[in-house]
Amino acid sequence: MRRTDILKTASISAYVIFILFSFAVGFAPGREIGRIFKTFSVDMFRVLPCAFILIGLFEVWVKKETVEKHFGERSGLRGYLWAVLLAGTTVGGLYVAFPVAYSLYNKGAKLSVIFTYVGASAICRVPMTIFEASFLGMKFSLIRLFVSIPLVILSSIWLGNYLEKRGYRILPGK
């Protein structure tokens, strides 16, 4: 085994032992950590399988030319707008956004458009915005979106150009 594999195994084992010990001796913070982990895991296992099936279908059904046209080098501002719209409808947060971004990259999307998609996935999903507006008000949500989205696009363009000038490439998965 490699050293990193040993460290991962030891970390996971220590976590499990801590949770089991907490339940055995009644250590409240450890028990709460265990409950939160269980809730989080169940939520993930509800969303991720469906999301990965949809990503697989995207890989098969959507042509590379279509992605290049709407998200590629010559898409212009339209590519960024498509990225924000796609991000707004993405379910599952960044757990789903990163595999979708990787798929877009493999099909020819521009690096800065992918950064826009990932950034927008974190800040402008429709369900999250509705939830936010119900607690903080529509005015707050609109101001946040109108400030955040241009900043995400501008920083994505800057970062994409910076990395492309240096020949950055996303490596293929294992």
| Chain segment 17-71, per-residue pLDDT in tens | 999 999 999 999 999 999 999 998 998 888 888 888 988 898 899 899 999 999 9
Q: Is 173 helix (H, G, I), strand (E, B) or coil?
A: coil
Q: Are 85 and 50 a contacting pair, CB within 8 Å?
A: no
User: For the whole model, what pTM was predicted?
Assistant: 0.78
Q: Are 83 and 113 a contacting pair, CB within 8 Å?
A: yes
CA nearest to 58, candidates 15, 105, 94: 105
- In the DSSP assignment, the letter for residue 18 is H
Average pLDDT of the chain is 90
